[in-house]
Amino acid sequence: MGSRLRSKELRRKGMAVIITAIMLVFVIPVVGLAIDAAVLYTIKARLQTAVDAGAVAAARTLNKGLTLAEQAGNAQAKAQSYFNANFPEGEMGATQVTVPTPDVSESGFRRRTVTVQGSAMAPTYFMRVFGYTRTMVRATGTATRRDVNIIMVMDRSGSMQNTGSCTPMKEAAKDFVSLFANGRDRIGVISYSTSYYNAFNHTMDFLTTSPNINSRIDAITCAGWTNSATAISEAYNQIYAIDEPGVLNIILFFTDGLPTAGTANFPIKRLADTRYGYGVNSSSSSPPNGTYRSTTDASLNNKEQFNSSGTNYANMPPSPCRHTVGGTYYTWYQTNGGGTKYLQTSPNPNWTPASKLGVLAGGSGNSTGTTQGLYAPLATSITAQNGGTLSGSTGCRYTSSTNYVRRDISFIPDLDAYGNSTRGFVSMSGEEFSSGSYSGQIRPDKPIAIAKAFKNATYNAAIRIRGDTRIQPVFYIIGLGDPNATDPYTAVDTDLLLRMSNDTTSPEYTDTQPTGMFVFAPDNSQLNAAFVRVASEILRIAN
């Protein structure tokens, strides 16, 4: 009995050995195939990473060179360099690594596509039993470079000069320009202080045209107030006029402080009211007394006194601006060529002068102080801080001194010249006339009212511009700090600039509008790094 059991056990063991031997014939190749497949997959993944890196690097290099052929040569060199760094000969035992020659082609409207193909012979291990010692592995990577339209909006206000930042800004701006493709990308420059100026008209030939963009940037000088809303609105008008929805449309806005000026259609003051004075009239032969003369004599009218910008003067009379009838000038208290003459105490009720399109400046954190205007919105030259005293202003007090502008304009309107609201972001409570002829309107005789009104206009301009769903402008903003700033109204407002750019860290970031970027430079020694960072981000997104 026991011998039969031992015999059966031996037979079972024998069968197990036979079955195991037969299974190994099939299992070993399967396991070997799995191991070789894993090796091939790993090598393929590394090869794909290498060609992708080469394609992206090549696309970013398409800014170098005047022609597509020259750009292709630079791109090919860069692609090969990145490929070799990521997949050198012998990587994981691979041999016969083919160094790619990228193909650069026009793939659409102002788009270029780089295609990088690479290959290598991957080693096998277990499959050598069947005579397969090497297997070809291939990978293809592509990257597209969109051309860009950039309007650079450069702050050249007096604070830039005072902090020694004017020259560092210009040097950083030129380095920024060098990172883009002449003949492909389009760049223009708007400089702004009290008024704006088209420092360089946008063109694709920004380095080869004469004068080129660098020489125009070099010519910029810094002085005056800060008219931010006007500058970015003019930049948008240029982007809109270019009318290329298929490219990356960018407004690069640089500033070192808050808005202190703005452009609007200012209503002429045609009613008496109470407001702050505007300074001493140097033509007066009598002491300042804060009153006006009830006379129809224009020569005496010019001697009115409102000498203290910190004192409210009751019954400040209407503006002495004149209007033309039949080729003859008439003041607001005269009839059209004869008959009854109206006195300053009882002006002509039918006098309805047209509003004046100009720049009002003087914004600060102070309730009292000097305000200036009206200036022409377009500066007279690249070195001029403003456009000069507004023309067509015969008789107006600001023609004798821009500090007297508060005598001529009634209030700051609710919309600036571009339709941007002067209300809504920061409260205007306390900055309006509380009673009188212009009750509820924003005061033009308070520096803080100017600052707040045109800060609102700047904020609202950015929201309006980003809302263009066809052109889709993107804001890249650089804010320059001043370690010595004590007045918050002269320092850059990072919260405002984050909101304007729609930076992802903005308190009101929205993915329904283009995402931009805000970069803060604590001082002018870090300006170049800030501009380079912005350029790198633009080129990354352009890919």
Q: How far apart are CA 271 and CA 408, in angstroms?
A: 10
Q: Select the more confidently predicted residue: 341 or 450.
A: 450
With bands split at pLDDT 50, 70 and 90, how would you rate the model's confidence at 290?
very low
Tens of pLDDT, residue by residue over 228-241, are 999 999 999 999 99
CATH superfamily of 148-261+455-542: von Willebrand factor, type A domain (3.40.50.410)
Closest CA to 356 of 375, 372, 329: 375
Residue 181: pLDDT over 90:
no
3-class DSSP state of 536:
helix
Largest CA distance in the chain: 151
Q: Which helix (H) or strand (E) holds 38?
A: helix 2-60
Closest CA to 144 of 85, 246, 65, 58: 58
pLDDT of residue 150: 96
Q: What is the mean pLDDT of residues 213-229?
A: 97
Q: What is the mean pLDDT of residues 462-488?
A: 88
With bands split at pLDDT 50, 70 and 90, how would you rate the model's confidence at 429?
very high
With bands split at pLDDT 50, 70 and 90, how would you rate the model's confidence at 295?
very low
pLDDT of residue 327: 44
pLDDT of residue 27: 52
Share the mean pLDDT of the chain: 81
Residue pair 262/453 in contact by the 8 Å Cβ criterion: yes
Residue 302: pLDDT over 50:
no
Pairing of strands 148-155, 186-192: parallel
Q: Select the more confidently predicted residue: 487 or 409.
A: 409
pLDDT of residue 88: 85
Residue 55: pLDDT over 90:
no
Tens of pLDDT, residue by residue over 240-264, are 999 988 788 999 999 999 999 999 9
**Amino acid (1-letter code) at residue 446:** K
Residue 86: pLDDT over 50:
yes
Q: Select the more confidently predicted residue: 307 or 188.
A: 188
Residue pair 328/405 in contact by the 8 Å Cβ criterion: no
Domain ranges, ordered by start, for the chain: 2-146, 148-261+455-542
pLDDT of residue 4: 55
